[in-house]
Amino acid sequence: MTPHGTRAGEDAEDLDVEEVLALVNNSNHLPGPAERGETDSRRTSGRPDTSPRPDARHHATPWPEARLIAERAARSIARATRRRPVSVPLEAALGLTLAAPLDALTDLPSFDTSAMDGWAVAGPAPWDVRDDGVLAGHAAHEALTDGEAVRIATGARIPPDTTAVLRSEHGRTDDKGRLHATRDVVPGQDIRPRGQECRSGDQLLPVGALVTPAVLGLAAAAGYDTVTAVPRPRADVLVLGDELLAEGRPHDGLIRDALGPMLPPWLRALGAEVTAVRRVGDDAEALHQAVTRSDADVVVTTGGTAAGPVDHVHPTLRRIGAELLVDGVTVRPGHPMLLARITEEQHLVGLPGNPLAAVSGLLTLAEPLLRTLAARPAPEPYTLPLRDAVHGHPYDTRLVPVVLRGDQAVPLHYNGPAMLRGIAAADALAVVPPGGARPGQEAELLDLPWASGGIGVCFT
């Protein structure tokens, strides 16, 4: 939740997104095993692939490098455009990154508070119990004098000159109505003194902290109605393909659009605000219009990345003069994925149409891009041993759905590029190096958002 590295005492107004990023994890991010090329038995991953390949596509980027390029592309936007932090109401801030430190706007507690239901007592026992009582949220009670007690509720203000709070289960009233303690009373007991948790102005959380449900609660308790945060990058989704149905069963060579329903919540989990989902068919003109009219930070297309007669993504990018940063990645599935810079402020992620290939592109290119734009910390890389052997591609990294059982990753079947059955049951994707993996071999894992964060927390 907290950033890996933070600076104390930042002036919120002077911070922009790039600076927040620097605080989140720039200097402390350690490359994962795959980024270091360690899981790659042929030592081809993590550096340009110079080995001879029968199907060499010279421009294909090694998988670890593709992720770094996507991250760097986002950093260059932050630098070029100085995306400014925004003030966000608490109810809309879940999942954002703080762009200003959360400094207490009040002492907490803001008054001396009773920690228990019972009596506020003054001086030694026995005590005469006053007729009135003190409830939470009510006006201050007048001062007590020694030998007096007053009924008090948890959370109520402590009357001036109170010695201690006596819990209701520790008090006994005699036949004259006087209150006695059934155990020793220590001065100050069960009183939460004003400022016990913090003083007004204390830093509660630094720049770069992720706004979780607990942070929302803390911010509210500390007096905030809004927080200063990095805005979510806006993403438009363009779904290509004339063969796609929006409802009903597949028929007559037509299939259901699986990506339209899947991508928006997944993109939100990666930190984006999804501003539009458009179906543009296999119409080059419609794609051109949709891309050039989009003012989102990231345009995500699905399908049309290959070289078929109606694969319009590359021609459209050429037509608008976009710069291809990644044009194919040495990863299976998903190798035709691409990343292009459309303008200084706008990128396009081209996901292949095969649904698991699209997931691969999402996690390879969209995840680092959106995470960096949202100034979220990079997840800590980790590995687990694979329970079973996994076939490898001869040259490319494979991403394979796995479930986590104990301290092992169990590879799932139904992991073909056109299948979602494996990923729908998965906790993570295992990064399998070229050549494959033996049983017991450590594999880097990419957590899926529902496994690491829970639906309610991260799919906001």
Ligand X SMILES: Nc1nc2c(c(=O)[nH]1)N[C@H]1C(S)=C(S)[C@@H](COP(=O)(O)OP(=O)(O)OC[C@H]3O[C@@H](n4cnc5c(N)ncnc54)[C@H](O)[C@@H]3O)O[C@H]1N2
Q: Mask of contacts with ligand X, 9-28, x by CB under 6 A?
A: --------------------
Q: 352, 392, 434, 449: which one contacts ligand X (CB under 6 A)?
A: 352
C-alpha 249/C-alpha 262 separation (Å) is 17
Residues 6+ apart with CB under 8 A from 26: 5
DSSP state of 326: E
Q: Which is nearer to ligand MOO, 44 or 294 (CB)?
A: 44
- From the CB of 332, what's the least distance to ligand X, in Å? 8
C-alpha 414/C-alpha 416 separation (Å) is 6
- From the CB of 353, what's the least distance to ligand MOO, in Å? 8
Q: Which is nearer to ligand X, 64 or 353 (CB)?
A: 353
- From the CB of 347, what's the least distance to ligand MOO, in Å? 20
306 makes contact, choosing from ligand MOO, ligand X, none, with CB < 5 to 8 Å by partner type, with ligand X
324's tokens: 């291809």
Is residue 306 classed as helix, strand or coil in its secondary structure? coil
Position 336 contacts ligand X (CB under 6 A) = yes
Q: Which is nearer to ligand MOO, 101 or 333 (CB)?
A: 333
431 makes contact, choosing from ligand X, ligand MOO, none, with CB < 5 to 8 Å by partner type, with none
302 makes contact, choosing from ligand MOO, ligand X, none, with CB < 5 to 8 Å by partner type, with ligand X
Least Cα distance to 432 among 445, 450, 420, 447 occurs for: 445
Q: Which is nearer to ligand MOO, 241 or 333 (CB)?
A: 333
Position 328 contacts ligand X (CB under 6 A) = no
Strand pairing category for 113-114 and 102-103: unpaired
Q: Mask of contacts with ligand X, 223-262, x by CB under 6 A?
A: ----------------xxx-xx----------x-xxx---
- From the CB of 53, what's the least distance to ligand MOO, in Å? 15
- From the CB of 240, what's the least distance to ligand MOO, in Å? 15
C-alpha 422/C-alpha 400 separation (Å) is 9
Position 317 contacts ligand X (CB under 6 A) = no
Phi, psi at 115, each rounded to 5°: -90, -10
Exposed/middle/buried for 69, CB within 10 Å: 0-12, 13-18, 19+? Answer: middle
Least Cα distance to 386 among 371, 365, 401, 370 occurs for: 401
Q: 16, 40, 49, 311: which one contacts ligand X (CB under 6 A)?
A: 311
162 makes contact, choosing from ligand MOO, ligand X, none, with CB < 5 to 8 Å by partner type, with none
For residue 458, how many other CB atoms are within 10 A of its CB?
A: 19
Q: 294, 302, 346, 364: which one contacts ligand X (CB under 6 A)?
A: 302
Q: Which is nearer to ligand X, 205 or 287 (CB)?
A: 287
Position 96 contacts ligand X (CB under 6 A) = no
Is residue 322 classed as helix, strand or coil in its secondary structure? coil
Peptide bond into 109 cis (omega under 30): yes
C-alpha 411/C-alpha 403 separation (Å) is 7
Q: Which is nearer to ligand X, 32 or 350 (CB)?
A: 350
447 makes contact, choosing from ligand MOO, ligand X, none, with CB < 5 to 8 Å by partner type, with none
DSSP state of 167: E
Question: What is the residue whose two structure tokens read 């599935």?
Answer: 333
E-strand stretches of 135-185: 148-152, 164-167, 171-173, 178-181
Contact 458, 441 (CB under 8 A): no
Among all residues, whose Cβ is closest to ligand X? 353
Is residue 176 classed as helix, strand or coil in its secondary structure? coil
Position 417 contacts ligand X (CB under 6 A) = yes
Contact 433, 457 (CB under 8 A): no
Q: Which is nearer to ligand X, 306 or 404 (CB)?
A: 306
Contact positions vs ligand X (CB under 6 A): 239-241, 243-244, 255, 257-259, 302-308, 311, 333, 335-336, 352-355, 357, 417
